[in-house]
């Protein structure tokens, strides 16, 4: 791949791209990550837990730095750090999405504690300035078969857990009081969801990096929820959007000298803008049209 | 210790940054806008990288980007408080631009780029010059005076926006002013303790103060005092233990204060 150039023949381009094993690995890993992020992110956006999600996402930085210092595989560090952060946030109430200032302060404190530790690990483990950028902004090069298999395993666990708790979690997210009255263990679901989020984030950030995993978690679901208030449809849309952003991002960044993270965040942002504009236009139409069909509910 | 000029500069800059963070942070936490502060501080790093790419002073990039994003956030939300999903989508995109700029920077120049990135993300309070120290102290003082000046109406607008609006308090404008102040604080704090860590001085001292007292003015003073103590203690600690980076020491003390305050308030209940 000395000099990849994009031709107008898309079939040929894709064919060229798939000729490399590292690209096939990247596409497989990206697909797994996108499906997981699309589903988990959908619940995160629905529950208004973006701040918690972002905080758990950046925890993979201290995780990886600590693992490098301790001499264990970095994936191990990712999972431990994200799990600990999920528990710490869950312990502090998990109610930050309801806008409580003190809870959001607690999440912020968890985040900077983790980042400060990460910086300490990094400076103790001297000479990894180059790695810092990879940790924070990710790389899709050099993903091997074992990583793909691990990602697949994590994705299956995460998705299976969400299949089991999906319906009660949806109820608990939309209306905690009613859910509690019906005997749904709201509090346990709060912590459980944060742990699922932590697992998904730890897996995803190995490819997208600690700072950009969040883009994949928030933009596709936010776009999907802006387009339709129906849970099932927007969940499917969210996964489709995440896959689209990931595949197009990988394809473009193969032919470009610029990093994957930029393309993923930009395509995600563009999707979100288009979805918002579409909803705005639909709302205008619905207002002008005679009443009958209710305007889409404000999901975002 | 104070015989070293870089330590004196660190104390000068640190004092201004800490007092400003503590005061602004108290309102940030009270209004539940920590995520907005988080987003503003993380994009500050993109501003610094952009300034390095364009070749202008770092401060220009920091202030342009944080103040710009603060205005955007205020414009997007009701009562100048943006929705958390909107914040998340916008700021993850800005981070993506930061990645692009890092790539541009590293293709343009050979060395030094990793150092700029690390300094921006985690600060370099021991690397500030005299002029930078004085500037940071002056900006900090300006922010403190601004917060004191709008404290009363802002408090009213925070606790009961409807009533405040009826009394002619400009609720929206105050929300914008607070976001702009957060922008200034994060831009200046980025140079001292880094874009990723400045949130600690905004959230932790204020969170601790709000757990300890519900009296507003006492809480503000306490928040500023805790931030200042963390800053002074952190600088001294890092001087004594050279392997401990100053930013980590400062944040460790602030987080410790928050943990102690949480325990104290739990026991008191």
Residue A120 is nearest to which of B29, B121, B248, comparing CB atoms?
Answer: B248
Q: Which residue of A has its CA nearest to B114?
A: A129
pLDDT tens readout for residues B94-128: 888 888 888 887 766 545 566 677 777 887 888 88
Both tokens of A73, joined, read: 């595989």
In angstroms, rounded to a whole number, what is the distance separating the alpha carbons of residues B209 and B216?
A: 10
Q: What is the pLDDT of residue A5?
A: 63
**Residues B241-256 pLDDT 10s:** 988 888 999 999 999 9
A253: pLDDT strictly greater than 90: no
ipTM, two decimals, is: 0.86
Position B209 in a domain = yes
Q: Which domain holds residue B150?
A: 5-264
| Domain-embedded: residue B240 | yes
Range of the domain at A243: 10-286
Distance in angstroms (rounded) separating the CA atoms of residues B193 and B231: 10
B269: pLDDT strictly greater than 80: no
Residue matched to tokens 């233990």:
B241
Which position has the token pair 């390095």?
B52
Angle between helices A50-58 and A186-208 (to 10 degrees): 50
Cα separation, B230 vs B81, whole angstroms: 29
Q: How many CA atoms lie within 13 A of A71 on its CB side?
A: 0
Q: What are phi and psi of A110, to 5 degrees?
A: -60, -45
Tell me what the pLDDT averaged over chain B comes to: 87
Tally of domains within chain A: 1
pLDDT in tens, A28-49: 888 999 999 999 999 999 988 8
| Residue B117 forms part of a structural domain | yes
Model confidence at B138, pLDDT cuts 50, 70, 90, reads very high
CA–CA dist B246, B231 (Å, integer): 9
Size of interface A-B (CB pairs under 8 A): 185
Closest-CA distance of chain B to residue A242, Å: 13
CATH of the domain at A145: 1.10.3470.10
pLDDT beyond 80 at B78: no
Question: Are B154 and B29 a contacting pair, CB within 8 Å?
Answer: no
Q: Do A108 and B202 touch (CB under 8 A)?
A: yes
- DSSP assignment, residue B127? G
Measured between beta carbons, the chain A residues lying within 8 angstroms of B254 are: 112
* Residue A293 falls in which region: left (phi positive, over 0), alpha (psi -120 to 50) or beta: beta
pLDDT at B59 over 90: no
Q: How far is B203 from chain A (nearest CA, A)?
A: 5
Question: What is the mean predicted confidence (pLDDT) over B201-205?
Answer: 93
Domain count for chain B, please give it: 1
Domain presence at residue B229: yes
Cα separation, A119 vs B78, in Å, equals 37
What per-residue confidence (pLDDT) applies to A299?
44
> Residue B22 is part of a domain; what is its CATH number?
1.10.3470.10
B269 within domain boundaries? no
d(CA A233, CA A210): 29
- Which one of B37, B76, B96 makes the best mutation probe of the A interface by having the most chain A beta carbons within 10 Å? B96
């Amino acid at each position: 791949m000395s000099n990849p150039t994009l031709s107008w023949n898309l079939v040929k381009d894709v064919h060229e791209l798939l000729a490399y094993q590292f690209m096939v690995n990247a596409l497989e890993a990206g697909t797994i990550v996108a499906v997981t992020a699309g589903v988990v992110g959908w619940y995160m956006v629905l529950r208004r837990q973006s701040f918690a999600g972002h905080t758990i996402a950046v925890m993979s930085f201290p995780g990886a730095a600590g693992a490098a210092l301790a001499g264990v595989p970095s994936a191990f560090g990712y999972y431990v750090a994200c799990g600990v952060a999920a528990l710490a946030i869950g312990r502090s109430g998990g109610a930050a999405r309801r806008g409580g200032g003190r809870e959001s302060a607690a999440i912020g404190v968890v985040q900077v504690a983790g980042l400060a530790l990460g910086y300490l690990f990094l400076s103790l483990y001297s000479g990894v300035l180059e790695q810092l950028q990879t940790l924070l902004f990710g790389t899709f090069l050099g993903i091997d078969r074992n990583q793909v298999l691990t990602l697949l395993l994590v994705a299956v666990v995460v998705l299976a857990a969400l299949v089991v708790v999906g319906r009660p979690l949806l109820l608990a997210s939309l209306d905690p009081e009613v859910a509690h009255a019906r005997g749904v263990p709201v509090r346990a679901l709060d912590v459980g969801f944060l742990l699922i989020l932590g697992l998904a984030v730890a897996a995803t950030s190995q490819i997208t990096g600690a700072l950009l995993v969040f883009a994949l978690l928030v933009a596709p679901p936010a776009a999907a929820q802006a387009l339709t208030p129906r849970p099932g449809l927007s969940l499917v849309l969210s996964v489709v959007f995440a896959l689209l952003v990931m595949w197009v991002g990988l394809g473009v960044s193969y032919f470009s000298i610029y990093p994957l993270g930029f393309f993923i965040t930009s395509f995600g942002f563009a999707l979100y803008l288009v979805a918002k504009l579409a909803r705005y236009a639909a709302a205008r139409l619905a207002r002008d049209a005679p009443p009958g069909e209710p305007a889409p509910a404000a999901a975002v | 210790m104070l015989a070293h000029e870089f330590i004196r500069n660190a104390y000068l800059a640190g004092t201004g940054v800490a007092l400003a963070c503590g005061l602004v942070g108290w309102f940030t936490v009270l209004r539940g806008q920590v995520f907005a502060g988080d987003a503003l501080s993380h994009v500050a790093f993109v501003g610094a990288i952009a300034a390095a790419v364009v070749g202008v002073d770092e401060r220009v990039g920091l202030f342009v980007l944080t103040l710009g994003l603060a205005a955007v956030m205020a414009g997007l939300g009701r009562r100048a408080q943006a929705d958390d999903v909107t914040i998340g989508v916008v700021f993850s995109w800005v981070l993506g631009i930061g990645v692009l700029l890092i790539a541009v920077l590293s293709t343009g120049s050979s060395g030094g780029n990793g150092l700029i990135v690390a300094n921006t993300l985690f600060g370099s309070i021991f690397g500030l010059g005299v002029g930078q120290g004085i500037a940071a102290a002056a900006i900090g003082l300006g922010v403190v005076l601004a917060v004191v000046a709008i404290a009363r109406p802002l408090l009213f607008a925070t606790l009961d926006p409807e009533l405040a609006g009826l009394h002619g308090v400009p609720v929206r404008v105050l929300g914008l002013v607070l976001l702009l102040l957060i922008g200034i604080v994060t831009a200046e704090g980025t140079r001292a303790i880094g874009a990723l860590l400045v949130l600690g001085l905004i959230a932790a001292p204020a969170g601790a103060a709000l757990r300890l007292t519900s009296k507003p003015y006492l809480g503000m003073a306490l928040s500023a005092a805790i931030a200042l103590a963390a800053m002074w203690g952190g600088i001294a600690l890092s001087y004594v233990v050279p392997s401990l980076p100053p930013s980590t020491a400062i944040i460790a003390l602030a987080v410790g204060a928050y943990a102690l305050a949480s325990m104290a308030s739990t026991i008191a209940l």
